[in-house]
Chains A and B, each alone.
Chain A
Amino acid sequence: MTSNNLFRKFLLKNHSLLLVAIFMGSLAFTSCKKQPVATGPTAEEQMIAQAKSELQALLNNESMSIEEKERRLQAIKDKNIQDAEVQSLIAQVEAQIAKAKAEQLRMEEEEKRRQAELERQRKLESSPAYKLNNFFNSIGSASSADAANAQISQALGLFSSPSAPVLIIIAQSGGITDYDEPTTIQKYLNYLKDQKKKADTIENIVFDDAGKIKELELTKLR
């Protein structure tokens, strides 16, 4: 009996055992192949994750200045990360910055308008016409003759003289201006006091060199 025969006999006798051994061996080999490599995320993966985190933080931060957000966003964009989610977040932050800039611009314009209006109001309130109108109203609505007289005295301080002329336009047609009979400021102010009337509208004021009113033109047409 040769050794080959013996081997053949052994195979025939134990073929089942052999198949099991082969199967187990192949299983062990296969499972060894599928086992992951025991290393951490790659540098690129880390960069992507960090970018996402920073971008999300930028989106959520409402107190950061626009300039700072722009600076940080630019730093992320400079990394040139080709990741769809990162690109989407960048677009969101850009949109947020654009919206904030537009809002800031609107608020600046609004503030400019408000300041201009305040300035216009300050100028108006310090103008003789405004002061005079206030006197007209307070004289016409004074509760007593004494109160009206006190206002008249103050109002006369705006004028070069109590006899400063007051002209009142009653009509304008075909290039002709018609006036009521000219009066003086003292008489006109007393007229408002007596008649308790709303004053005619100021049309024009002529000042003297000292900045006092030397002639007043009113109109009934407005």
Chain B
Amino acid sequence: MNKIKQYFAVVTLLLLIQQVAFAQEPELAPDRKAAIDSLALEKVRDLSKYISIIGDKETPFSEANRVIERAMELFADGAQMGVSSLNSSEVKYYGIRTYFRRLMALNYDKVKISWFNIQYISDLERQPDGRYVGVITIYQRFEGISEDGMKYQDTTKKDITVFVERKQTQIGGRLIGFWDVLLGDIRVSETTQ
């Protein structure tokens, strides 16, 4: 019984030390924080361009596949993309790779996708595990024209969870500290015409 008490005491002490250490960890200098804010926004803009390339019917198949691989690198494992339509109130969620495959195969003759008003709705905040988490909102304009000339278009507001974590790696004998930005789920918050 004493051993159990001792065990819990040690665990509690370790947790306390961790909490104190976290509390004492200095905040990022404003310019460093601004740099990671900007980096995360840039990753979202990069995704916007990748989505427009993948969806574009003019993009050669091999190029689209290569771009899908690059776009996949932006996402955290298991991230999902919400897809909505004016024709249905339901929002469907797909794994990111599945979403890209579906986007490539959309049954339109021409597809044009653009993102605008990309901004933080929830600033990057440091979490107890040291990661920074924030939410960036975007508006997506989708235009699809079918072979018979029918045009579908909508504008969807989407919220993207962003995770930013400082990591280290060894390159050329040097220890490099870098910020790993990963995008999480992209959730649909509204769809309009």
Contacts and interface: CB of A to CB of B under 8 A. Distances in A.
Interface residues of A, number: 24
Contacts of A16: none
A170 B34 CA distance: 10
Contacts of A173: 29, 31-32
Given A145-B60, A194-B50, A187 B35 contact: no
A145 B63 contact: yes
B177 A179 contact: yes
B179 A181 contact: yes
Interface stretch (B11-19, B112-120, B168-176): B168-176
B106 interface: no
A180 B178 CA distance: 5
A3 interface: no
Contacts of A211: none
Interface string A148-180: 000000000000000001010011011011111
A138 B180 CA distance: 29
A190 B53 CA distance: 13
Interface of B: 29, 31-32, 34-36, 38-39, 46, 49-50, 53, 60, 63, 66-67, 70, 166-167, 169, 171-172, 176-181
Interface of A: 145, 165, 167, 170-171, 173-174, 176-182, 187, 190-191, 194-196, 206, 214-215, 220
